[in-house]
Structure 1
Amino acid sequence: MKPTRSLLTSGLALLACVFVGALAYRWSLDAQLSGQQRAASQRLAFAAQSLESLLQRNEALPALLALNSRTNLALQRPDPQNLQAANAYLASAVALADVDTAYVMNTEGLTLAASNWNQPSSFVGQNYRFRPYFEAAMQGRIGRFFGVGVTTGKAGYFMASALPPEAPAPGVVAVKISLDAFEAALADGGDTVLLADREGVVFVSTERAWRYRTLAPLPAEVRTRLQGVQQYGNHPLTPLHAEASLPADGDTLRLQQAGHLRDFSVAARSVGPLGWQMLLLADQRPARQEALVAGLAGGLCAALVLGLALLRRLDRLGRAERAASAERLREAHGMLEVQIAQRTREITAANAALEDRVRDLQQAEQIVRGTRDTAVQAGKLAVLGQMAAGMSHELNQPLAALQTLSDNAIALHQRQRGDDVAENLRLISQLAGRMGRIVRQLKSFVRKEPPALSPCSVREALDHALLLLAPRCQAVDAQIAVADFDEALCVLADATRLEQVLVNLLRNGLDAVQHQAVREVRFAVQVQADGRVLLRVADTGRGMDPEVQTHLFEPFYTTKAGEGLGLGLAVSRIIVEGMGGTLAASNLPEGGAEFTVRLPRAAGVAAQGKAAHPATQDLP
C-alpha cells in the first residue's frame, strides 16, 4: 500500500511541476512575442518612412526635366547636335539628383536621348512603349513602375512624366532610381526585411535567396501579365512557402533560412503609391529560448516549493522517528553489551584456535618443502638406479684396460722398451681421467643441496647430461642430436637441478625411441623476444595418447611396466616451476613427442665451459 501511495504522490508532484512550467512558458512566450512584435513594428515604420522619403524626393524630377529646352529641342528636332546637348544635360541632372538614369522618349516609346548614352548598356535606341509607366505618362498621369531593366538587367524604380501641352513636341521623360543602397542600409540594420509588390512578389530583400520569390502562389493570369510587361525578367517567381494567402501584420511565417525552417513574427505595412507591402520578419527563436528558460525556471520553482513542503513534512516525521529510535537504541544498548561480552569471549577462543592453526600450517609447509626436496632427490636416485648398469659397464671397460696396460708396462719395462712404456702410461692416465670425470659427475648429480638460482650455462648443463646418458645411448643404439645455439647462453636456474631435468627428459626420449626404426632424440634452444629461453627435447617415438597426456605429470604414473617409479616428469615440473619456469608437453605433427622447458634468461655469465662445440653433436 505504501509504495503505491508514494508513487502516486511523486507522480502528482511531477505533473504539478510540469503544469506550472508549461504555464510559465506560455505566459513568457506570449509576452516575448508581443514585445517582439511591437519592436518590429517600430523598426518597420522607420524603414517605411525612409523608403517613402526616397520615392517622394524624386517624384517631381521627370516633370522638371521635361521643362528644359534641351529636352524639348531633342524631341522637336532630333538632329545630332540637339540630341548630344540633351544627353549632356541628362547626364549632369542624374549626377546632381543622385539617380540611376534619365532618358527621353518620343510618342512611340523610342528613346532619343539618355544620361547613359555613352555606355554599352545605353537606353538610346531602345523602345519602352510596352512598359506601364510609359502608357501612364502618355495618358497624362505620373508613370510609376518597378521592374528589372530589359536593357541593363538591373532592377529599379521607374517614374515618368509627359511633356506639358505647351511644349513644342510631345514626348515622355523617365527617371530610373536604384534601390540597391536602400536594400544595403536595411541589411546593415540587422533586420530581415522584405519589400513585395501588390501581387506578393518580393523584389527587395535582405536575404538574397528570397529575392524574386513570392509570398503566395501567383494566379496564372497575374503571372501572364507580369511576363507581358517583362517586369521581373526571366526569374521563375517561385513561392517562399505553401500558404495560399499573403501574410498580414501579426502573423507567424515559417520560412527556410540558412538551411533550417524557422518561425518569424511578421510586422507588415503598406508603403509607396503602387501598393507595395513592406514586411519585417523577427526570428522567434530568441523569444522561444527565453520562454523555455522561464518555463524551466517556473517548473524548478514549483519543484522547490514542493520540495520545501516535503522537507518540512519529512522533518516532522524525522523528529518523531528519532525519538522512537532513541528509545529503541537504549533498549538495544543493554542487549548489545551482553552480546559484545559473549562475542568477545568467542573471538578470543577463535583467535587462540587460529594461532594453533597457523602453527600447524607452518609445520605442514616445512613438511611439504622437505617432501619436495626428498622427491627431487628420489628422482635423482631413481634415474641413477636406472643408469647403474650402463655406468658399471662404462667403468668396467676402463678398469680392464688399465689392468692390461699396467701388465704390458711391466713387461715392456723389463725388456727396456722405454717408449712403449711411456705410451702405455699415457693411455693409463687418459683412462684414469675419464673414470674420474664419470665419478665426479655422478657425485655432483646425486648431491643433495638446497636450490640456489644463479646464471647457469645451458651448454655445460647439457654436456653433463650427455656424459651421464652416453651408456644409455649405446644401450638403445640411439643418438642425441644437438642443434647449434649460442655457447654463452645462460638461464636463471640451479645448475644441478637443471641438469637433472635434462637427464630426465633426454632419457625419456631415449626410452621412447628404443623400439623405433629411426632412433633419434633432438635438443634445440630458442630465445624469445620477452627474454625467456625455450629448451626443446623432441623424439621420433610414437607420441603420447590422450589418456597419457592427462596424467603425464602425476606422481607415480608411468607407462614403463617394471621400470622406474613414475616420478621423473612430476619431479621435473616441480623443479622447473621452483626456478620460475614452466614445463609443457605436446605431440609433434610429424610424429613423436616434444617437451618444452621455459626459463628466464640470465643477464650474468656462468662458469667457463668448453671452448667450442660443433653445430650438431651426435651421441651414438
Structure 2
Amino acid sequence: MRIPSLPPLLPPPRRLLLVGGLALACLLFAALAYQLALAAFLDGEREAASRRLAFYALSLEGALARHEALPGLLALEPRLHQLLDHPQDAAAVAACNAYLQRAQAGAGISVAYLIDLQGHTLAASNWNQPGSFVGHNYGFRPYFREAAAGGLGRFYAVGVTTGEPGYFLAAPVREGGREGGAVRGVITIKVNLAASEAELSGGGDSILLADAAGVVFLAAEPAWRYRTLAPLPPATRAALAATRQYGDSPLQPLAPSHPLHDGTVRLDDGSRFTRELIMQSRPVGSLGWRAVLLADPADAHRSALGVGFAAAFALAFVLAVLAHQRLHRTRREELRRAQAELEQAIAERTADLTDKVAALRRTQAILSQTRDTAVQAGKLAVLGQMSAGMSHELNQPLAALQTFSDNAAALLELGRLDELRDNLVMIRQLTARLGRIVAQLKSFARKGPAEKRAVDVASAIDNALLILEPRRRELRATVELAPVPAGLAVQADATRLEQVLVNLLRNGLDAMQGQPSPRLHLAAGQRGDEVRITLRDEGTGLPEEVRSHLFEPFYTTKPAGEGLGLGLAISLTIIEGFGGRLEGGNAPQGGAEFTIILDAATATATPAGDHPCPT
C-alpha cells in the first residue's frame, strides 16, 4: 500500500520536528524489538543446541557401552588361562594370538591383547604387524591397574606403541574363569572412536570432548585436539605425564574465552571463531568426560535484526496511517477499498490452498495405486523374463500328452486294455503336472489387494523355486535348502511374499551366471517372535558402491535390457508393508546374502499359493 507524503498543512519547522520525532520513535522501538527478539531467539538456539548435544552425548555413550562386556567375555577363554600358566609355551602363544586376532576382526575393534600381572604383553591380535604390542609393558597405564585390582578398566589415551588414540577397556582374567577367583592377568581391547569424532562437526556445529582434567581429545576442529579448556595445575600435568595418556603433546590451553551472558562466550583464537558463540556442555560417560558444543548465533542475530526492521516499519506504518487519518480523512474510502481487496486476496488464497490440498490427496491416492501397479508389473516382468523357460516347461508334457493320446487310440483298436490303462495313468499324471504349473503361475500373477495372514514358509519357498525351476536348470545351479521347521509361518500376503522370494532367488542365480557349479543356499528358522529367511549365493558379492545404493529404485548393475533396478526396491516396499525388514550385504564365507525378517504367525498357516486365482 502506498502512503502519501505529508501535506503542507504545517509550517516547515514544525513539520521537520514532527518527522524527526517520528523517526526517533521508530529507531527506539526497533532497538527494543531487536533486544527482545534476540533474547528469545538465543534462548531457542540454546535449547536446540542443548538437544543436539544431548543426542550426540547419548550416541557417544552408546558407542562406549557397546564393547563394555567384551573384555569380560574374552577373559573366559581357556587359551588365555593356558598362556598365563605357560607364558613361554610357543604353541600357547600362537593359539592365543590367533584367537585374539579372530576376536578383533569379529568385534570390529582396533586391537585385543593379554597382559600378565607384571604388565608385560604376552599375546596380541596385532602380533604379526609392525608396531605389535607383544613384548611391551603397559603396567603404568591406569586401565591395567584397575583391571589387575579386579575391576573394569576404562581409559582414553594416545597409544605409546602406535601413536594412535583410542578407548581402552580392560578386565581381569581370573583363576578358572570363576567370579571371585584370583586375578591371573588382564585382557584389554582398544576401540577407535574415529566414527564418533566424525560426528562432531555434523549439522554445522562445533563439538569438542574433554576428559576429567579438561584436556580436549576429540574435536571438530583438529587444532583444538590435545588442548586444554583451562591451564592445568602442575599436579595434573605430572599425573598425565606419568600415565603418558597424551604422549608428548604440550597440552596448551585453548584461546581465551570471555563469558558474555547465560550460555554465550566469545572465543578469541584467531581463527573463524572470533565472535560471540553459543556454548552448551554436558557430562558424558562414567569417566568424568564433558562434551561442549559451540554454535554460531549469527542466525539469531539476523532473525532479531529482521524483527527490529519489521517493528520499525510496522510502527512507521501505524504512525503514517494515524497521520493520514488526521490529515486526510477523505482517504478513508481508499483504505476501505484496499482492505476489501486484501480480504478478496485472502479468500482467493484460501480457495487456492483448498484446491492444492485436494490435489495432494489425489496425488497420494495415485501414488498408492502406482505402488500396487509397480508390484504387479514386477511380477509380470519376472514372468516375462522367464517366459522361454516356462514355455519349454509346458511344451514337454504337452508333447508327451499328444504321444500318449495317439498310443491310447491305437491300443484301444488293438484291444490291449492293460497297456491302455497304463497309458491313461501317464496322461493323468502329465495333466496334473500341467495343472500345478499353471495354477502356480496364475497365483503368482494375480492382481489384488494384499491380505496379511498366516503364510506357510515352506510352501512359499517351494512355490518360488517352482517358478524359477527353468532358470535353475538353464544355469545348472544347485539349490541347497536347509530343512524348514514344520509349521513355520509368518504374517504376510502369500503372493507378495512369493514375489519377494522370486526376486531374491533370481538375483542370486543371475549373480552366478557363467560359473561352472553355481550354488544357492536357503535357510529359514524362528528366533523369538521373528522368522528369518536367508538366501545366499556364491557369486562375487556386492561391491561397496553397490551396497550404498542397494535398495534405491532404478539402480542396477545388470546390462541394459536385463533389468530396471526395481526388484529390490519393490521387495523392500513389500516387506516393510508387512511390518518386517529386508537386509542385504556380503556373507562372511563369500557371495551376497539377503535376509527377510517377518513376524512369526500365531494362527494356523495357510499354504502359500492356496488362494483364489482369476480364471
TM-score, length-scaled by structure 1? 0.48
TM-score by length of structure 2 reads 0.48
